[in-house]
Structure 1
Amino acid sequence: MPTYPQIILKPGREKSLLNRHPWVFSGALEHEPGGIAPGAVVDVTDASGRFLGRGTYNPASQIRVRVFTFRDEALDADWFRQRLREAEGWRRDLLPPDTNAFRVLFGEADHVPGLIVDRYDRGLVVTFATAGADYLREIILEALIDACRPDWIMERSTGGYRKEEGLPPRVEAMYGDVPDEPVRIRENGHAFLVDVRAGQKTGFFLDQRESREALGQMARGRTVLNAFGYSGAFSVYALAGGARRAVTVDLSEDAMSLARQNHEINGQAVEPADLVIADIFNFLREDKTDFDLIVLDPPAFAKSKAALVRATRGYKDINWLAMRRLPPGGLLFTFSCSGHVTADLHRKILFAAALDAHREVQILRILGHGLDHPLNVYHPEGEYLTGFICRVGE
């Protein structure tokens, strides 16, 4: 087994690793050797030299080391193959059989920091979010091909994490013939088209599977507004669940085209007025349709702690507008996909919105990540999606 450079912690700073938290911050370090390439594998020891964990190192990040394992084992292709097989195996066991798109591996939640792997039928979309995952890219690619047996692999390494890690964005085909046309997937028996090359996130919001299913179960007889609708997935579930009408609103013309196609391949007839290209804040103020179920699934308003105050105001305003539009007994599905907006803060935002809207609001159900986006109990920072089903009263 290879030997790795040693990162030594200050006395008394080993507690978080003993508690299996995978991040080591710069302030905890007593000694870090020079000349280590960003992303290279290192060992972390306490002040006495006791081995604590093995992970990847980035001198440009406040998170100096991201720990992959607390065991003395090589981080080689075999190690990654084992992780991938385990991660995909239990997901296939638990997900519905009529679903062929899901998250295969979710970073720290699956003990592989910085690596995101999503399956879309016979192919994979992969994100290398950190210097460590990027450094191990070729080893990981070998493991992906062996463990997951994909026809193709598309890399979509973009976003704020890459920038924070000192990495440029990278979007390219890694393996096989990546389709130029949208890939057709199935989720809970519904069909969707996914643009794996240029769609939002990795092409589809896989983390909302269970929330869409919940909406489908409550939509019967209702007129539904799907705000920030993107591919129209919530609307597809709503109509399949017996909704009278589903209106999808998004700023993107491409998103509305994709939503229309998704309705068509599910045999759902929709009118042009049901696919609206508009700013949702203006739409909620100006449109006169009587909606009795509203879905708010906005993009991350708070992409950093510095943006949290303004983001909180935005979340409050959109929920206030929705509450004012709903009749007594109307349902509100409201989400935040920002890790900086905790479930507790999200509740406080709903409280403030309800108070200003002069409406009674009951939380019927708490929503979150789908089961293929697990939360590592030792890494609470991995929680980013919070949601509530609310009943809006008088």
Structure 2
Amino acid sequence: MKQLRPYPQVIVTRKAARSLKAGHPWVFEGEVLRMEPAPTDGRQATNGDVVDVFEENGTWQGAGLLSEKSKIRVRIVSRNANDRFDEAFWARKLQWAWDYRKATMGNRALPGCEPDTNCCRVIFSEADGFPGLIVDRYEDVLVAQVGTVGMERLRPTLYPLLLDTLRADGQSIRGIYERGDSPARQKEGLDQHKGWWDGGETIPDSARVMVRENGIVFDLDLENSQKTGFFLDQKYNRRAVRQLASSRRVLDCFCHVGPFGLNAAAGGAKSVRCVDVSQTAIDLARENARLNGLGNLMSFTCANVLEYLPELAKDRARLREEGGPFDLIVLDPPAFTKSRSTIDHAAHGYRQINYDALRLLPRGGYLATCSCSHFMTRDRLAAAIAEAAHDANVQLKQIEERQQAPDHPILWGVPETHYLDFFIFQVV
């Protein structure tokens, strides 16, 4: 088999082979022993090419995409020796990804609301077998992030196939907006850019789009918002908060454009205070409240949550001004760590914000809290929350333990795909 396959070869260490056999799709720079040309025609690999990965003893481990400038040198895309990497191969994988979203989210919409697949992640990188590619759907617009040279080279193939897949299923898609401004592209030697993909498609006039999630309207700026425009991974966690919010005074910390707060208000909250350090986010959250007719229930504060919570604990008059005392507090912070080296510092940060929130909650109050960094594992987060509860002299009754929505699938054997952990507690 080794001599018959038409792809250049990457020979890797036993350590790399063990990791690949366990299901992880990455080969790191230091795990490459040597590279060999394709046995059929002597072709040398170029950046972004499909390559075969072999252990030194000759065992084939899979085929992947080469990234010459990245520490992750090869990303596996197939472990089936019969696969050929033509349009049919990629079309099958795209169809599988869309079928998965329909199966896991197609029948979960709230009564009277839009289908949950109208706003969802369609492609989640390694978890769907497209390493370095993220595609989110916002109603009739797709937003794509390409972070690897292999996916960059495949864009002219993948985008039309993806549009064909969705349109064949009756989905109306008017364009693909590219957010090629992620730092990951620099590690691959790729340029930074934003804009509509013009591969034969009519280019929409604006990167603003009105979307519905859980029946709530959001005005999104796809060009200037964080990530691809919205945080779709919390869709069902927001519903869980909505179910608890009735008649309660809610504090939504790190509110971004207001999705947790809006869900709480839609769930019958007595009042909702949204807090974020970004004035732009606060302005968008306020506008989203207006669009949904919830402005009378919601108020907004531009502040650093890390300073804001301790201030409320010290100043009861300020707490009352802000709408407290609160019965339900939501903590949805940005990732406190993006590397393993800073995990201890991050754990301290999670402990501190949970401690500060717990000091503000009465007995019987509710805390919804999470982490969105895969370096902050579930157990490490749980330990930080437990320490916070101990320091605040309260006990926590766990209501739910949740993760990212299923359109962001967790691939076992690939811990990087499990990045969001979400807990809901009652203080007892």
Matched with 2:291 is 265
- What letter is aligned with 1:74? R
1:280 has 2:280 as partner: no
Distance, in Å, in 1 between the alignment partners of 2:185 and 2:372 is 18
Letter in 1 for 2:249: T
**Residue in 1 that maps onto 2:175:** 152
Distance in structure 1 (CA, Å) of the matches to 2:404 and 2:291: 26
Deviation string 1:75-97 (CA, Å, 9 cap, x unpaired) is: 23322222122211231233235
- 1:135 is aligned to 2:144: no
Alignment of 1:175-324 (within 5 A): 175=198, 176-180=202-206, 182-270=208-296, 274-287=299-312, 288=319, 289-324=324-359
Which of these two proteins has the greater Rg computed from alpha carbons? 2
Identity %: 38
Residue pair 2:145, 2:182 contacting (<8 A) in 1 also? no
Offset at residue 105 of structure 1 (A): 1.0
Range 213-222 or range 124-133, more displaced: 124-133
CA shift for structure 1 position 117: 0.7
1:89: which partner in 2? 99
Q: Which residue of 1 aligns with 2:84?
A: 74
Structure 1 Cα separation of the partners of residues 262 and 141 of structure 2: 23
2:60 equivalent in structure 1: 51
Q: Quick one: which of 116, 119, 122 aligns to 2:137?
A: 119
Shift of 1:194: 1.7
Amino acid paired to 1:136: L
Give the letter aligned to residue 156 of structure 2.
E
Match of 2:396 in 1: 361
Between 1:375-384 and 1:229-238, the stretch displaced more is: 375-384
Alpha-carbon contact 2:27-2:72 (below 8 Å) kept: yes
| One-letter identity of the residue aligned with 2:18 | K
Within 2, Cα distance between the matches of 1:194 and 1:254?
12
Indicate which of 17, 21, 31 corresponds to 1:28. 31
- For 2:94 and 2:309, the matched residues in 1 are separated by 44
Quick one: which of 110, 114, 120 aligns to 1:102?
A: 120
CA deviation after TM superposition for structure 1 residue 9, in Å = 2.2
Q: Which residue of 2 aligns with 1:3?
A: 6
What is the total number of aligned residue pairs between the two structures? 392
Judged with a 3 Å threshold, the aligned counterparts in structure 2 of structure 1 residues 290 and 179 are, in CA distance, closer, same or farther, namely farther
The 10-residue stretch of structure 1 (36-45 or 223-232) with the greater mean CA deviation from structure 2: 36-45
Which segment drifts farther, 283-292 or 346-355? 283-292
Larger mean CA deviation between 356-365 and 8-17 belongs to 8-17
The one-letter code sitting in structure 1 at the alignment partner of 2:56 is A
- When residues 179 and 263 of structure 1 are mapped into structure 2, their CA distance, relative to the original with a 3 A threshold, is farther
- The worse-fitting range, judged by mean Cα deviation, of 133-142 and 232-241 is 133-142
Please provide the CA RMSD for this pair: 2.1
Indicate how the Cα distance of structure 1 residues 286 and 12 shifts in structure 2: closer, same or farther if over 3 A, else same: closer
Q: CA deviation at 1:190?
A: 2.1
1:389: Cα distance to partner? Answer: 0.6
Q: SS at the partner of 2:179?
A: strand
1:343 counterpart residue number? 378
307-316 vs 296-305, which moves further: 307-316
Match of 2:419?
384
Distance verdict in 2 for CA 1:372–1:296, change over 3 Å: same
Give the TM-score taking structure 2 as reference length.
0.86
Q: Deviations over 1:226-261 (max 9, x none)?
A: 111011111111011111001111122221221122
Query: What 5-or-longer segments of structure 2 have no aligned partner?
Result: 38-43, 168-172, 313-318
Shift of the alpha carbon at 1:13? 4.6
Amino acid at match of 1:182: R
